[in-house]
Structure 1
Amino acid sequence: MRAARLPVVTVVATAAALTAVTGCTQKSEADDDRTIQVTAADSTCETSVASVPAGHVTLKIENKGSKATEVEILFPDDRIVSEKENIGPGTKYTLTAEVKAGDYEIACLPGMKGHGIRQKLSVTGEAAAARDPRLDKAVAAYRAYAETQADETLPKAEAFAAAVKAGDVEAAKKAYALSRIGWERTEPVAESFGDIDPKVDVREDGLETGQKWTGWHRLEKALWHDGRIGAEEKALADQLVTDLKDWQSRVGTAEITPTSMANGAKELLDEVATGKVTGEEERYSHTDLVDFKANVEGAQKSYELLKPVAQENDKALTAELDAQFAELNALLDHYRADSGSYVFTSYDKVGDADRKKLSDAVNALAEPLSKLAAAVVVK
């Protein structure tokens, strides 16, 4: 789940005026030409360069503000090339991405809302090295996976919507979590479009000023908190299906690279850490563990596709990732009704000590997973 992108006033500096407008830092001689220092604060977003050569780039991000922030590389039409959410105050993060020649923007989103504060980025020339054919194969396989997940989600979402429109609260409750699995497995791809996620997966506390609340969580509240289905909810069920069909039609056109797959896997673990483990994502239905499992499956799919190259470049890293994925999956299995099912313990029945174990396992996996993007960069 990401914040909405509504029309707001943004700060965009031209390349010529970059230093004057933002007070951005100058590139040091120690930096290579593929590294961008990004300093985020509550009202500024400073970048060290306005142009980089095509290929792999590294964003060295530091949040000097008082709010958690998000940093994105964006196409001019707001599609996301790569991103890192939930960068806490006083923390640093390294983001590896792959960019082709063209015009982009780097955005910092203090509080992780709105269009953010933006800087122009020009990418020139051609990538220095050809991509490993195994990575092209991984990208093609992941694209097919994302399309399959969207295709399989639609009938489940339609069944959920049909139950809502029939006024059958219990049937709608049973269909709710299952309708979300494919979305949760591939959420970074949906988020890359910028406008779909806020329509279908925003929580009430994530709404922008003036944004109408639509999507799964609006209906979740009606079903579990309000215990009723009215005309508005029936209309919202139809809207959910319409928006998911839009996602389905666009998912095949998403910009996918090996590094975006790796970064997306890490983002799925971050989604678990900030929403599922805390119980905030499914605060009414308490079906968080279904989302949790789907996020882990999606992250593992990206990893498994990238593993042949990552293992060659960093065998110790892949050994650690194998072990941590196995440990987290085994822990989740304790809460499953039976092997292979998506019936999990209601999360409000999971005590603090067990939540801590889940959180620790997520963090243990997230740390090595944050290194996967660098491990698939051509050496």
Structure 2
Amino acid sequence: MRVLRSSVVAAVSAVAALTAVSGCAEKSDAEGSDAIKVTASDDKCEVSKSSFPAGHVKLAVKNKGDKVTEVYVYAPGDRIVTERENIGPGTKVEIAAEIKAGSYEIACKPGMKGDGIRQKITATGGGAPKKRDPELDKAVAEYRKYVLAQAEETIPAAQKFVDAVKKDDLDEAKKLYAPSRIGWERTEPVAESFGDIDPKVDVREDGLEKGQKWTGWHKLEKSLWDDKKITEDDKKLADQLMADLKDWQKRVGTAEITPTSMANGAKELLDEVATGKVTGEEERYSHTDLVDFHANVEGAEKSYELLKPVAAKNDAALAKELDKQFAGLKKLLDEYREGDGFKSYDTDTVGKDDRKKLSDAVNALAEPLSKLAAVVAK
């Protein structure tokens, strides 16, 4: 869910876990190379090059501000080409991406909110494109099938949830809420790449932009668990959620997917876990965070598994480390299973020590996963 949660930002900034999540531990070897240097501060977004050859592009990002920031590359219409969230003050990260010839904008978002401070950039064509490893073409094709399948599976699950809301069946709606979100959570970076769908279906109340109406899953979550009642407005919002999800289903097949966007998306999913699920902020009323957590990890692992043949060929040690960290995190998550789902993610059930273990495991995976895009781009 790509929204500002001020309490999360403050919490993440205050704990050591930010180091691994935001990329403090990432070594940016792009400095001094042909990378585009992006220097972010609380009031500026400076870019070293406004024009560069299309193809594999590296961004060497440095946050000189006092706020946690994020950096996006936008195509026309605010379609997200690549991004990195949760870049802590004083930290550096490197982002690898495939960018086609055309006009774009780089945006720095101090405080992780708003449209950001933007700079226009141009990727120039003319050169022969680098020949891609056939294994990567296969990975992209398989991932596209996966994304489409997740969207198709989400529609009937969401429809059951919506039907329960419209029938005033509070208990049934609660039961169906978390399962309706699994496909979305597995492939969230692709859905978010469109820019306009995520704010409609997955925004938190404290992530609303000025003048934005609160719609989507989390508005209904609050009604079900916090208000403990379903209103006529909720029933209308349920219909709107269904319409927005069907729009997502129709459009997801047109998403631009590349090997680097798959790798970066896997890292984004881990960032989602670190800043929303581990903290308990994502599902603050229902406490179904572990369902989302597991779906995020599943989606990240799917991208990695499809890219693994090339990643292992280019960097066997990294692939071995990723295998180890994915296995460790999944094993830890299994400790919190309950029946067909997971335990409630409240402080009585999953306390401070448990959350620290989960956070450490996420961070241990996020650090090597941040290197995957550069490895597959070799």
| Fold match by TM threshold 0.5 | yes
Q: Is the 8 A contact 1:266 1:366 kept in 2?
A: yes
Q: Is the 8 A contact 1:45 1:117 kept in 2?
A: yes
* Residue in 2 that maps onto 1:346: 344
Q: Is the 8 A contact 1:53 1:127 kept in 2?
A: no
Q: Is the 8 A contact 1:3 1:114 kept in 2?
A: no
Q: Secondary structure at the match of 1:375?
A: helix
The answer to whether structure 1 residue 136 and structure 2 residue 137 are counterparts is yes
Q: Secondary structure at the match of 2:109?
A: strand
Corresponding letter in the other structure for 1:245: K
* Residue in 2 that maps onto 1:67: 67
* Residue in 2 that maps onto 1:281: 282
In the superposition, the TM-score normalised over structure 1's length comes to 0.90
Corresponding letter in the other structure for 1:49: K
Corresponding letter in the other structure for 1:40: A
Displacement of 1:128 in angstroms is 4.7
Aligned equivalents of 1:60, 1:99: Cα separation in 2: 15
Displacement of 1:127 in angstroms is 5.2
Aligned equivalents of 1:179, 1:304: Cα separation in 2: 25
**What 5-or-longer segments of structure 1 have no aligned partner?**
5-29
Displacement of 1:149 in angstroms is 0.3
Corresponding letter in the other structure for 2:175: K
Q: 1:244-284 CA deviation, whole Å, 9 max, x = no partner? A: 01110110111111001000000000000000000000000
Displacement of 1:92 in angstroms is 1.2
Displacement of 1:69 in angstroms is 1.2
Corresponding letter in the other structure for 2:83: E
Aligned equivalents of 2:357, 2:228: Cα separation in 1: 33
Q: 1:180-228 CA deviation, whole Å, 9 max, x = no partner? A: 0000000000110011001000111111111111000000000000000
Q: Is the 8 A contact 2:40 2:65 kept in 1?
A: yes
Q: C-alpha root-mean-square deviation of aligned residues, in Å? A: 1.1
Q: Is the 8 A contact 1:78 1:194 kept in 2?
A: yes
Corresponding letter in the other structure for 1:59: L
Aligned pair count reads 349
Displacement of 1:32 in angstroms is 3.8
Alignment of 1:33-112 (within 5 A): 33=34, 35-112=35-112
Q: Secondary structure at the match of 2:337?
A: coil
Aligned equivalents of 2:286, 2:58: Cα separation in 1: 40
Q: Secondary structure at the match of 1:366?
A: helix
Aligned equivalents of 1:314, 1:72: Cα separation in 2: 27
Q: Secondary structure at the match of 1:285?
A: coil
Aligned equivalents of 1:356, 1:114: Cα separation in 2: 30
In the superposition, the TM-score normalised over structure 2's length comes to 0.91
Aligned equivalents of 1:136, 1:254: Cα separation in 2: 15
**Distance 1:127-1:221 versus aligned 2 partners, 3 A rule:** farther
Q: Secondary structure at the match of 2:77?
A: coil
Q: Secondary structure at the match of 1:253?
A: coil
Q: Is the 8 A contact 1:54 1:127 kept in 2?
A: no
Aligned equivalents of 1:102, 1:130: Cα separation in 2: 20
Displacement of 1:351 in angstroms is 1.0
* Residue in 1 that maps onto 2:157: 156
Moved over 3 A (4+): 30-33
Aligned equivalents of 1:111, 1:351: Cα separation in 2: 28
Displacement of 1:31 in angstroms is 3.7
* Residue in 2 that maps onto 1:13: none
Q: Is the 8 A contact 2:3 2:204 kept in 1?
A: no
Aligned equivalents of 1:66, 1:361: Cα separation in 2: 27
